[in-house]
């Protein structure tokens, strides 16, 4: 058995029957819902409980991350607006039209993450002026908590759709 055969056996191309894909899916959505606009959600909870310095820290890190997101949007927004849909289209066509399970798996992971990125970008654009002028911490906590709920909702739908599609694919290729 060659080294390449061992690697390909370890990283099976049949993604939906591979445990590593499901672990990656769970870790991805867990991470996405923990880091809201690049701010760890435990900081939001700490600011809600303690206020004061924790609230100021939350305000500061949110302002920095919103500036970073908006900077990326301004600098690379046009390129990303063309490149990301092209990649998603390639994955969708390759996956669902040409029946590539790996492309399907990557598409089912990437497409909802793009929805989360667009929602985060929209929120960052809305928050940017308020963070510069001194938005109340209570309002910021509420907005970040609501955005986390949005991310978790998208993640829940994505996991359910991916699980259903993965079960369908596994049943389709199983031999009884």
Mean pLDDT of 55-75: 95
pLDDT of residue 13: 59
Looking at per-residue confidence, does 173 or 114 come out higher? 114
What pairs with residue 39 in β-bridges? Answer: 36
Residue 24 banded pLDDT, cuts 50, 70, 90: very high
Cα 176 from Cα 160, distance rounded (Å): 25
Cα 24 from Cα 14, distance rounded (Å): 14
Report DSSP letters for 47-116, one per residue: HHHH-HHHHHHHHHHHHHHHHHHHHHHHHHHHHHHHHHHHHHHHHHIIIIIS--HHHHHHHHHHHHHHHH
Residue 10 banded pLDDT, cuts 50, 70, 90: low
Q: How far is CA 171 from CA 7, 17, 44, 72, 75, in A?
A: 25, 10, 43, 42, 45
pLDDT digits (tens, 9 = 90+) for 101-156: 999 999 999 999 999 999 999 999 999 999 888 889 999 999 999 999 999 999 99
pLDDT of residue 20: 87
Tokens of 40: 């760890």
Mean pLDDT of 154-167: 96
Instruction: Classify residue 40 by its DSSP letter.
Output: E
Question: Dihedral sign, CA of 119, 125, 126, 127?
Answer: positive
Q: What is the mean pLDDT of the chain?
A: 92
């Amino acid at each position: 058995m060659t080294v390449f055969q061992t690697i390909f056996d370890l990283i099976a191309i049949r993604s939906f029957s591979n445990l590593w894909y499901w672990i990656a899916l769970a870790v991805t959505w867990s991470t996405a819902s923990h880091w809201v606009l690049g701010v760890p959600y435990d900081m939001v909870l700490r600011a809600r409980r303690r206020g004061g310095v924790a609230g100021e820290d939350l305000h500061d890190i949110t302002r920095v991350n919103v500036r970073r997101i908006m900077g990326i949007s301004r600098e690379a927004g046009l390129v990303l607006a063309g490149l990301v849909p092209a990649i998603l289209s390639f994955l969708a066509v390759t996956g669902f039209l040409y029946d590539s399970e790996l492309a399907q798996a990557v598409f089912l992971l990437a497409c909802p993450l793009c929805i989360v990125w667009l929602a985060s970008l929209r929120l960052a654009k809305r928050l940017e002026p308020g963070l510069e002028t001194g938005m109340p911490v209570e309002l910021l906590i509420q907005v970040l908590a609501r955005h986390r709920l949005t991310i978790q909702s998208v993640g829940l739908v994505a996991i359910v759709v991916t699980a259903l599609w993965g079960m369908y694919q596994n049943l389709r290729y199983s031999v009884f």
